[in-house]
Structures are given as C-alpha cells and as structure tokens.
A and B are shown apart, each in its own frame.
Chain A
Amino acid sequence: MRLHQPQLHQPQTEETVPSAEAPPKQVALAMDRLGQAARLIADIRLGADRLLEALFVTAQPHQSTKPLHLFLKEDASMRQHFQDLRSVGRQLEESGVLNESLRSRSNSWGLHMPLVCPDGAVVAYAWKRQLAGQAGASAVDRTRLALKAFTDQKRRFFPHLDDGLDDQGTESDSKKRCSPQVQMANHHEELSDYRTLSDILMSLEKEVPNLRIFTYERLDWLKRASSLPSSANETSLEISKEHNLYSSNKLRPGSLSNVATEKIAVIELLFPSIFRAIISLHPVGSTDPDSVAFFSPDEGGSYIHARGLSVYHVFRCITEHAAMALQSFLGIRAETALHSLLRWVCSYQTIFTKVCSKCGRLLLMDKKAALLLPPVYRPYRQFSALEMSYTQPISSAKETNNDLAQAYHVGCFSEEV
C-alpha cells in the first residue's frame, strides 16, 4: 500500500493532498495517527481476549456452532486490525515518527515530527532549548534541565533565599575590610574605595537637597510599586505620609542598622514632582548596581522597577541612556560605580529646566522619533564623582556647580563632546 511520495516530507492521507501541508498540520496528522495506532492496539488486545474466550467456550460441553462463528468473526476482525495497524505504522514511518529520518530536515517552524522514544514516551514537539536539540531526551533529562534553569533564575532574582552560598561569604568579607571612616572631606580617593552602601547613601542625602532616598528589600519594592498612586491627586504631604508607611529602611542617622543594609536590594531616588529613579543592587546589600530606570513621579504599577520602562518618552530615553552609563561606570571602575551612578542620576533633577549645552533650547524635535524632547543626554564618559567637591553641596540649578554637568538633546549629542 505504499504510495509514491515526492522527496519532501508529505504525509499521506486517505485522499492524496496535492499541495504540501504546513508543519503544524503534519504534526497534528502524526499525533492523530499515533492515536489511531493506540486504538488499534487496544482493539487487538480486546480481540485477543475474545478469541481466548471463544476457545474457552468451545472447551465446554454442550456447545453449538456459536463459538465457531464467534471465533471466525473475531479472527476476521483481528486480521483487519493487524492490517490497519501495519498501514498506520507505514504512514508513521514515512512521516518520520518511528525513525529519525526526517529530524534533520526540520522546517523553519522549528517543529519536529513526534518521536516515540525507547522508553515508550511520545515526544510531540522537540523544544530545542529544553531538550538540548535531542528529540529523544528522556523525562529525567528534561526534568534535570528544567530544574537547572529554575535554580539559575532563583539565584539571580531571589538571592536572599539562598542559604550559605558563596555570595554571602564574599559579602561579609568585603564588609570586614571596610574601615569605619570618620573624616569625610579630606580623603576622597581612599574613601571611594572603602565606602559601604550606607555611607554612600547617607552622604548623598546630605549633599543633594531636594532628594528623597528610600531603600527596600526586593519583594518589599514590588509591593510598594504596585501601591504607588497612578495619578497625582495627592499633595506632597500625603506622599510623604505614604512613604513613612511603606518604606522599610529609611536612612536617618541613628536608625540605620547593619542587618538592614545587608538586605537592601532596591534604592529609590525621588525628586518630588520631577522624577523617580529605581536602582537595583545585585547581590543584595552590595555596592554593585545591576540596573537603573527612570519614571515620572506620578506613575504607579508593578512595571515600576529597575528593569521596567516608563510610559513617557522622555523617561524611556533617559533610561536607555542610563543603561549605557551604568555599563560605562562599571567598566571604568567597578568599586565606585554605584557612587558615580547615583550622582549622575542626581544630575537629572534639571531635566525640565536645563537647556541644551549645544543649541541653547529646552525642547527640540527629535527627527528620528518625531517627538519634542528636553535634553535627555548627560555625558558620563568623563564623569567622575571624585571631581565633585564633597564640601560644597550640589544645590539648585541656579548655582554654578551645575555648569559642570552638561546636557544635550539626542540630536545635539556627539562623541567628541
């Protein structure tokens, strides 16, 4: 009953289909036929039972020709079943199910024909990533791979759930190395090497007025983000009340405890009515920034996190630029990366007031995006927090200190600057 087939895999159907079928249809047909085969096998088993029964009955005395009829009938149907099974088997073979002849000729859809593994499992779709390219991976291998993927994700996003892993060990070592510093203004370079997270945050709070800093454990931040109001109908008084209620680690002198610092995973920098920046630390409690994102202070929702994107174009642009700045800070000097990043983020408090250092305007039509944007680029290449004087606080835009930080529109920014 073998029909002539063209070279490419075209499954046979009862009526010959002239055109090639789409891969999902082939797979569906193959699954269908496997189901058919299973039903035929079940019928055969049943038939065998009936044959045995008929034989048993004939062994009894006082029987008519009934068992003979039964036997003949069952024999005929069994032969038919076997015949059908053979033809289904041939169809499956031809479409590459029972052997691997067509596995290499996988189509661009990434779908493989279902494969019957040695242990009897039917693999319907070969998900390459899960099965490492082998359609015949057994259940054990699949489970092992899935567990590994899960453990990696868990270690990455929920490190505080790990007990006694190496990360924790190196963290506590670096903390012991840090000397409790007293003098602030005199030893700039030494300090930047040995600063702990709490020192960085507290000095930032002192130097930048107008800035509110809040720290969170990772899951606490998710709760806070979801509860942020999405419209600014509240007065600033209500907003500060909310912060008192929800934030778990507020940095006020005297209230900081070492345990709390070790759990800090998210830093929130809020310039009221201007922007909110979220920085995530990895590992928890370290001074290694992982990602940063900017948002409007009126935005709220679970998408507000260090890898999220604002709904507003201006903050999306800044976030994209910030990702590059972060990589640059990490690449130049990883120990001071957080310090530099935080101060660089603070330079954006003038985002809606500081004109472009090249064209002198605040708004410019960005040709590519066809949008009016303020100067969203602030250079980071030569940005060194060490140049910022620690004795003078970075104050409002009216002071000349801010002239150190320049700002550019997307279109006005060029590498030479």
Chain B
Amino acid sequence: MPLKWVLHWQPNAGSTVNSQILSEVSQCVESINGVKEGRWRATLTFYKPHTREPTQASEFPRDFLGISLPEQPNKYYLIIRGQRIVLEADSSIQTLMEKLQSYKTRVALYFDGFQYQLGDFQLRVGKVVPTHSENLRGIVMEVEYLPISSMEKGRQVMEEFVDIWQEALSKRSLPGHFVHIEPNFADYGLADSYSSQHSAVQYATVMAQLIATVQAVQSMRS
C-alpha cells in the first residue's frame, strides 16, 4: 500500500493547541490546491491491566495500545511500544478482550478530520480528542504518496513535500509547527514495503510525543 508519514503538531513553548490553528491548517491545505474529499477517523485506546491486587499492575506492560484505522475497517492493531511489538488482528478481537476482561480501557481518543486529494498525494488533517469530550488535545496530519509503497524509494519525495508544506504553513505565523518522527520500523520487524502496521506504529509514536508534550506543559505550570 502507498507509503505514508504521520506528522503531529508541536506547539511552541508556552502555547497550546486550539481549533483556530486547526482551521488555519485546513485552509493552508486548500491553498496548495488540495481538494477536500471526505471525513476520516481513527481511534486509539490505552489499555490498563485488570488485576486483583493494585501492586500487580506494575508487572504488566503499561503501554499497551489498540488502534483502529479507517483504511482497514475489519482489522484492529495491538501494540506494546516498550517491547516493540505490533500485531494485526481481526476487529473481533475487541469482543474477545471485553469477554476476557484482562485489559480494560483506560482512555480512548479519536483522530478525526477531513481528507484532501492533491494529485498523487493524499492528505489527512485531524484533531485529537478524547472520545467523550470536545477537548482538543492535538493535531495530526497524514501525508500519503500513492504511486510508491517503498519507504526508502519515496523518502526524497516525502521530504520535499513536507518542506513545501512547512514553507506554505510558515506564512501563516502559527505558534508551532508539524514534526515528523520516524520510528525504527525494523525494531518492530516491519519491512521497507509500507503497510497498515507501519501506520499503527506511527500513531503510537505520535501518541507518545503528544503525552510528552502535555506532561512538559504541565510540569512547567506546576
């Protein structure tokens, strides 16, 4: 499948993300001839182990995530970041987990927004919100280049696109910028040919970054 980069919004020190930034970003996509196509949504769920004794909880992985992606409606992706494990499962595994009750949902988030077509590129801009609130926690952006599925062969094209994008966005003087961090896919046992597992790993990485950012802001305040 076509290769994709997932970027996240890094607010400048001392500022936070807000919906004004989101609308500016969307307008910027349209200004570089992006054609709005439709909505998209991905969900990410943090799981916590369900244990009898509170002390036992620390023995189990705390970074166990479940991700559902819009391009794979019948699949569910499970990740343990600390151990670099990613697994593609049938979406019915969620039912299984509910029955087992071994891991419960701690918090769930939506990545939700609009999709744009720009020639051979497909862009998605999305806000990060908890499932039961409208509290904007972050902004993500997916950049997909459809003709290539090899990450190495498409790297230069993606880098140039992101440069062009950053340049276009910088004209709006927003308090922050988009960041792309490439996880080490080889650690997860993933190959050069892009797949939905790669997307799941990127989202997990983005999540870790967002948490780190929020925690940094909180520690600054306190």
Contacts and interface: CB of A to CB of B under 8 A. Distances in A.
Interface stretch (A74-82, A124-132, A183-191, A360-368): A360-368
A314 B147 contact: yes
Interface of A: 231-236, 273-274, 296-298, 310, 312-315, 352-353, 361-363, 365, 369-374
A373 B164 CA distance: 12
A232 B157 contact: no
Which of B32, B147, B150, B154 lies at the interface centre, i.e. has the most chain A CB atoms within 10 A of its CB?
B147
19 contacts: A233-B1, A233-B195, A273-B149, A273-B152, A273-B192, A274-B148, A274-B153, A296-B147, A298-B1, A313-B120, A352-B154, A362-B156, A363-B157, A363-B160, A370-B33, A371-B120, A372-B119, A372-B161, A372-B164
Contacts of A361: 160
A371 B152 CA distance: 23
A312 B147 contact: yes
B187 to A, nearest CB: 18
Main secondary structure of the interface of A (DSSP, over half): loop
Which of A231, A296, A352, A353 lies at the interface centre, i.e. has the most chain B CB atoms within 10 A of its CB?
A352
Contacts of A369: 119
B33 A371 contact: yes
A372 B118 contact: yes
Contacts of A310: 147
A235 B152 CA distance: 14
The 3 closest A-B pairs by CB, nearest first: A371-B119, A273-B150, A232-B149
Nearest to A236: B193
B191 interface: yes
A232 B195 CA distance: 8
A235 B193 contact: yes
A373 B120 CA distance: 8
B146 interface: yes
A353 B156 contact: yes
Contacts of B192: 273
Contacts of A353: 153, 156
A352 B153 contact: yes
Contacts of A233: 1, 193, 195
Given A313-B120, A371-B120, A273 B32 contact: no
A128 B210 CA distance: 70
Given A274-B150, A352-B156, A371-B119, 19 more contacts: A232-B1, A232-B149, A233-B193, A233-B195, A235-B193, A273-B193, A298-B149, A312-B146, A314-B147, A315-B147, A352-B153, A353-B153, A353-B156, A363-B160, A371-B33, A371-B118, A372-B118, A372-B120, A373-B119
B35 to A, nearest CB: 9
B121 interface: yes
Nearest to A271: B153
Nearest to A234: B193
A305 to B, nearest CB: 18
Contacts of B2: 298
A352 B148 contact: yes
